[in-house]
Amino acid sequence: MENEPMSIEVARVSKKFGAFPALDDVSLKLETGELVALLGPSGSGKTTLLRLIGGLEQQESGRIFFDGADAANISIRERQAGFVFQHYALFRHMSVLKNVAFGLSVRPRAKRPPRAEIERRARELLKLVQLEGVERRLPAQLSGGQRQRVALARALAIEPRVLLLDEPFGALDAKVRKELRRWLRKLHDTLRITTVFVTHDQEEALEIADRVVVMNQGRIEQIGAPREVYDHPASAFVCRFIGNVNEVGAAFIRPHDVEITSRRNGAPSLDAVVEFVNTAGAVAKMDLRLEGSGELLEAELPRSREAELALKPGDRAFVKFRDVRTFPS
Amino acid sequence: MRKKEVLPGFGLSLGYTIFYLSLIVLLPLSAAFFKAGELTWPRFLAAVTSPRVLASFRLSFGAALGAALLNAVFGLLVAWVLVRYRFFGKRLVDALVDLPFALPTSVAGIALTAVYARNGWIGRLLEPHGIKVAFTPLGVMVALTFIGLPFVVRTVQPILEDLDADFERAAATLGASRWQTFVRVIFPEIAPALLTGFALAFARGLGEYGSVVFISGNMPMRTEIIPLLIITKLEQYDYRGATAIAVAMLAASLALLLLINTLQRWTAARSAA
Amino acid sequence: MIRRLFLIGAALAFLVLFLFVPLAAIFAEAFRRGAGAYFASFRDPDALSAIRLTLLAAAIAVPLNLVFGVAAAWAIAKFDFAGKSLLTSLIDLPFAVSPVVSGLIYVLLFGAQSWLGPWLSAHHIKIIFAVPGIVLATLFVTFPFVARELIPLMQSQGRDEEIAAVSLGASGWQTFLRVTLPNVKWGLLYGVILCNARAMGEFGAVSVVSGHIRGETTTLPLHVEILYNEYNFVAAFAVASLLALLALVTLGLKSFVEWRMNP
């Protein structure tokens, strides 16, 4: 790619839809070449933030900088932001090849490559996204995963300095989704374009992003590497949203941080009764009812440990927590 | 300040739309109201309530109503047959239903007159039974039936097509007879569309001119429709009289348009639910 | 089975009485005195002049209303603004107005007795009882056709593809010509077909502003009336048959386009 990827800075941006605050004083800095996930439930403002960066919406206040230049002065046409839409927005009457070539073919005459060169580059991109052989098909004749890759190739054709993907895997079934996201990570490692993608799926964000931006109600809750966000959630919201969590009183405990013994071993522990055991899976899952408070606790433990304990519903057990988190309310 | 739009051309396209709409439609239409404004209220009333005008109002409203009712019944039947049954020539029949939209009204007028006159193909059969069509109010109704024919068919047809057959099967499994199924399950579904089609046919019939003037005979007090009366007044250079009647008609048309819009929203809301 | 036959029979009987017999009568009457008399009707210079005027009115009205329809649909379907539903209703207004009233309003605006009348006649500009009046009346009655086809179609297609095109660097015109237009071409054609049929077939509105000057201000539908009122029935029906053929071609094209839109 000829163009250098760029850094993006979002500074104190707010945006309302009617009375609904979609984004509330959001600031964020994206480094050159990183892959960032905007993660949050629907209505958290993640898609709005992505569309603001892409120039598809205008913020009410705050500024966005591309490599230090105010994006307000850069029209959407000149932004060189490759946008991949949630439902792809492929041109339904154009072949796959024409879709991919579009961005090059609408360039002003002076900057437009010759026809043969456009076609060569479009084919090259289709090869990159592993879609050789479907050049002449219409979008309607492709599978969801193929459409997704056409949309990506189309966005890459304009040699974008930033790639923006809105729920890129949202419309795909579970298996294709998993394959495609690993493939996207590999592609990113090859191209090294600054990339932002929006998702509501924490697994997806944690698996492939360099950094995760967790959003809630128009604000950023936490920014950090996946491991950091998972291990050190900055708020109760992040803790609840990322991974499963038990809430015992004001304490947050991950299911895999629950330790179970079948008899009291001297260390301080809580009394509980086993309610449910599921051993079909990579780890064994157990539901326990705490005596006294009556709260339900989910625990995950290695299958070998579960076999050792041999607990059945109704049995008495003792639990203690390896790690407990609390958040100021 | 307006927020910047992502897509270009909003100002240009909206500006041109409003400019052209004003130039071709709104400005000329308002001319009619300005002209009517030259009349005092009593003179306006006198102009629109003279016996000859009232007779033509009665004829136009009556014949349009009769034709719209006939079209409601048979239009529903035609739509039903086109949606539910397969028969030879169905596609051709389906396409020809729109003929009244495509055929110039003067052509329709002379054709209907030729067919329904005393010596015409159909008039000849009716004559021995003492039924006269051409040059009677019945002739006006026949012409308006022709003109309004596609409206009910084309509004009811898509609703019938969308009606899930399981809907009727469900009614049948609950023990409803076919007639009960129609009256209690199907009819309530298509009623808004049927009413819309009826109103459209009625509105069209009220203003229709070309297809009627040949078959009606144009006898004052008997077979003179409102649009013809407007033309007659114009030819006598009675611009104010013509305008007064036209404004009364415009008011009726606008009221009908409002009603039809409401009905269509109702239909849309129904089919969205 | 009997119910089915009865319903089909009743529906067809209705259509035969009100549609098919009148349609057939046009051609029967036109050929009453043989093919010679039929074709002679078209050698009349007044008939030829009526054909020319009809084509002229359509050639002006259809493109103008096409451009309007596209502009209106772009504004209404691709943007949100206050008063949108009012604007959409106003566009349909000409359909609600009686053809005679449609003609009358232009007489009131440009006629000899209007405010503009003295000024127009002082400058030797003739609009009413002349070709411009016919064109204006035709513009009015065919005004909504293209817009009302395009607006719902473009609304249903959303604006994602256009936004995608702009984000890929396309200009407004490139977006419209290469993305929007190909997506609505059949709907556009449908609107144009209906608009053209009405432009060539309008009678009431044109009748009011025409003045019925033979060979000068008569369109084909008006020419039919003149011939008929002169008891020249064969010629009247011959010209009528030409218009009926046009209507049948319109219906054929319309069915074809409908089939292309929903295969």
Domain that holds residue B9: 1-36
Residue A329: the pLDDT is 67
CB contact (8 A) between residue C68 and residue B111: no
Residues of B within 8 A of A55 (CB-CB) are 6
Regarding whether B63 and B20 lie in a shared domain, the answer is no
Amino acid identity at C23: L
CB contact (8 A) between residue A106 and residue C164: no
Number of Cβ atoms within 10 Å of the Cβ of A237: 20
Q: How far is B2 from chain A (nearest CA, A)?
A: 11
CB contact (8 A) between residue B7 and residue C107: no
Closest chain B residue to A59, measured at CA: B3
Residue A1: the pLDDT is 42
Regarding whether B237 and B117 lie in a shared domain, the answer is yes
Closest partner residue to C179 (CB to CB) among A83, A85, A91 is: A91
Mutate to test the interface with C, among B13, B142, B247 (most CBs of C within 10 A): B13
Give dist(CA C176, CA A91) in Å, integer: 12
Residue C1: the pLDDT is 73
- Confidence check: pLDDT of C85 > 70: yes
Backbone CA torsion sign across A312, A318, A322, A324: positive
Give dist(CA A189, CA C51) in Å, integer: 70
CATH of the domain at B50: 1.10.3720.10
Residue B2: the pLDDT is 40
End-to-end CA distance of chain B: 38
Determine contact: C200 vs chain B, CB below 8 A.
yes
Number of Cβ atoms within 10 Å of the Cβ of C215: 14
Q: How far is B1 from chain A (nearest CA, A)?
A: 11
Residue C84: the pLDDT is 93
A285-289: long-range pairs with CB below 8 Å, 24+: A285/A255, A286/A260, A286/A311, A288/A258, A288/A260, A288/A317, A288/A319
Closest partner residue to A77 (CB to CB) among C166, C179, C183 is: C166
Determine contact: C89 vs chain A, CB below 8 A.
no
pLDDT bracket for residue C236 (50, 70, 90) = very high
Residue A275: the pLDDT is 93
Q: How many domains does chain B have?
A: 2
pLDDT bracket for residue B31 (50, 70, 90) = confident
Residue B1: the pLDDT is 30
pLDDT bracket for residue B32 (50, 70, 90) = confident
Lowest mean pLDDT among A265-274, B7-16, B94-103: A265-274
Helix (H) or strand (E) holding C114: none
Residue A269: the pLDDT is 85
Regarding whether B25 and B123 lie in a shared domain, the answer is no
Closest partner residue to A158 (CB to CB) among C169, C171, C183 is: C169
Closest partner residue to A89 (CB to CB) among C160, C178, C182 is: C160
In sequence order, the 6+-apart residues with CB closer than 8 A to the CB of A52 are A10, A13, A15, A23, A58, A59, A64
- Confidence check: pLDDT of B91 > 50: yes
Residues of A within 8 A of C168 (CB-CB) are 102-103, 106, 154-155, 157-158
B17-20: long-range pairs with CB below 8 Å, 24+: B17/C68, B17/C71, B17/C72, B17/C75, B17/C76, B17/C87, B18/C87, B20/C68, B20/C71
pLDDT bracket for residue B172 (50, 70, 90) = confident
Identify any residues that bridge with A53 across adjacent strands, giving them in sequence order: none
Q: How far is B206 from chain C (nearest CA, A)?
A: 8
CB contact (8 A) between residue A102 and residue C165: yes
What integer is the mean pLDDT of B267-271? Answer: 75
Residues of A within 8 A of B6 (CB-CB) are 55-57, 76
Closest chain C residue to A106, measured at CA: C170
Helix (H) or strand (E) holding A148: helix A144-156
ipTM of the complex: 0.93
Determine contact: C191 vs chain B, CB below 8 A.
no
Residues of C within 8 A of A77 (CB-CB) are 166-167, 169-171
In sequence order, the 6+-apart residues with CB closer than 8 A to the CB of C143 are B24, B25, C65, C68, C91, C94
- Biggest CA–CA distance in chain B, Å, is 76
Give dist(CA B263, CA C100) in Å, integer: 26
Give dist(CA C176, CA B7) in Å, integer: 10
B–C interface: beta-carbon pairs under 8 A: 266
Q: What is the DSSP letter of B179?
A: H
pLDDT tens-digit series, residues B41-53: 898 998 899 999 9
The runs of H, that is alpha helices, within chain B are 10-21, 27-37, 41-48, 51-84, 90-96, 99-102, 105-116, 123-126, 137-162, 165-173, 178-181, 187-207, 210-216, 226-235, 239-272
Q: Which chains touch C (3 or more CB pairs under 8 A)?
A: A, B
Residue B151: the pLDDT is 96
Q: Which chains touch A (3 or more CB pairs under 8 A)?
A: B, C
Q: Which chains touch B (3 or more CB pairs under 8 A)?
A: A, C
- Confidence check: pLDDT of B267 > 80: no
Chain C residues 134-193 with CB within 8 Å of chain A: 160-161, 163-171, 174, 178-179, 182-183
Helix (H) or strand (E) holding A17: strand A8-17
Give dist(CA B232, CA A128) in Å, integer: 76
End-to-end CA distance of chain C: 30
Mutate to test the interface with C, among A51, A94, A102 (most CBs of C within 10 A): A102
Helix (H) or strand (E) holding A137: none
Regarding whether B70 and B14 lie in a shared domain, the answer is no
Residues of C within 8 A of A55 (CB-CB) are 167
Regarding whether B259 and B125 lie in a shared domain, the answer is yes
CB contact (8 A) between residue C201 and residue B104: yes
Regarding whether B67 and B24 lie in a shared domain, the answer is no
Distances (CA, A) of C114 to A327, B237, C137, C138: 81, 12, 17, 20
Residue B28 backbone dihedrals phi, psi, to 5 degrees: -60, -40
In sequence order, the 6+-apart residues with CB closer than 8 A to the CB of A120 are none
Residues of C within 8 A of A54 (CB-CB) are 167
Residue B272: the pLDDT is 64
User: Rg of the Cα trace of chain A?
Assistant: 24
Give dist(CA C209, CA C204) in Å, integer: 9
Closest chain B residue to A60, measured at CA: B3
pTM of the model as a whole: 0.88
Residue C114: the pLDDT is 86
Q: How far is B48 from chain A (nearest CA, A)?
A: 50
Give dist(CA B229, CA B242) in Å, integer: 8
**DSSP 3-state percent helix, strand, coil across chain A (nearest 5):** 30, 30, 35
Give dist(CA A160, CA A80) in Å, integer: 5
Regarding whether B144 and B16 lie in a shared domain, the answer is no
- Structural tokens at position A75: 């029209």
Contact status, residue C29 vs residue C238, Cβ threshold 8 Å: no
Regarding whether B118 and B28 lie in a shared domain, the answer is no
pLDDT tens-digit series, residues B192-214: 999 999 999 999 999 999 999 99
Distance of alpha carbon B165 from the chain centroid: 30
Residue A3: the pLDDT is 63
Residues of chain A with pLDDT under 50: 1-2
Determine contact: A73 vs chain B, CB below 8 A.
no
CB contact (8 A) between residue B227 and residue C78: no
End-to-end CA distance of chain A: 48
Determine contact: B1 vs chain A, CB below 8 A.
no
Regarding whether B19 and B114 lie in a shared domain, the answer is no
pLDDT bracket for residue C184 (50, 70, 90) = very high
Backbone CA torsion sign across C142, C146, C151, C152: positive
Residue A105 backbone dihedrals phi, psi, to 5 degrees: -75, -15
Regarding whether B119 and B31 lie in a shared domain, the answer is no
The runs of H, that is alpha helices, within C111-232 are 117-122, 131-141, 145-157, 160-167, 172-175, 181-201, 204-210, 220-229
Regarding whether B149 and B93 lie in a shared domain, the answer is yes
Regarding whether B261 and B188 lie in a shared domain, the answer is yes
Amino acid identity at A142: L
Closest partner residue to B209 (CB to CB) among C75, C99, C166 is: C99
Residue C58: the pLDDT is 97
DSSP string, C60-109: HHHHHHHHHHHHHHHHHHH---TTHHHHHHHHTHHHHS-HHHHHHHHHHH
Residue A70 backbone dihedrals phi, psi, to 5 degrees: -65, 120
Average model confidence (pLDDT) for chain B? Answer: 90
Q: Return the percentage of chain C with pLDDT > 90, whole number.
A: 90
Contact status, residue A242 vs residue A202, Cβ threshold 8 Å: yes
CB contact (8 A) between residue C168 and residue A106: yes
